[in-house]
């Protein structure tokens, strides 16, 4: 929910391997920063564990952050990919 300058939303992603059937659900929280976290936010967003912390609610920034994170992942197998995804995303099987 976005209310004024405060927001805290769950985003769900459906991720799978192109050449295979099936996919898994992953989610993360998008929220505004607290006063203590203000210095941690750079380039208008930062990941803090499973939270994407933004200065302001901005769909383009959310997409940019997710794209940057997903394109940084490299692994030869699905479980390696899942391990990397779980750095910032909650997996449906956790």
Q: Residue 1 to residues 57, 78, 94: CA-CA distances in angstroms?
A: 10, 33, 24
55: containing domain: 2-91
Q: For residues 48 and 37, is the Cβ–Cβ distance under 8 A?
A: yes
Number of domains into which the chain is organized: 1
More confident residue, 33 or 28: 28
The helix or strand, by DSSP H or E, that contains position 53, with its residue range, turns out to be: strand 51-54
25 CA to centre of own chain: 12
> What does the pLDDT look like over 33-87, one tens digit per residue?
775 555 555 567 889 899 998 888 889 999 999 999 999 999 999 999 999 999 9
Angle at 53 between CA 52 and CA 57, to 5 degrees: 100
Angle at 7 between CA 5 and CA 4, to 5 degrees: 30
d(CA 72, CA 40): 21
pTM higher than 0.95 for the full model? no
């Amino acid at each position: 929910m976005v209310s004024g300058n405060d927001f805290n939303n769950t985003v769900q992603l459906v991720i799978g391997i192109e050449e295979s059937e099936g996919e898994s659900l992953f989610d993360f929280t998008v929220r505004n920063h607290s006063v203590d976290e203000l210095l941690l936010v750079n380039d208008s967003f930062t990941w803090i564990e499973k939270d994407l912390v933004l200065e302001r609610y901005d769909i383009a920034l959310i997409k940019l952050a997710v794209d940057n994170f997903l394109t940084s992942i490299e692994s030869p197998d699905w479980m390696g990919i899942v391990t990397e995804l779980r750095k910032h995303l909650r997996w449906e099987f956790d």
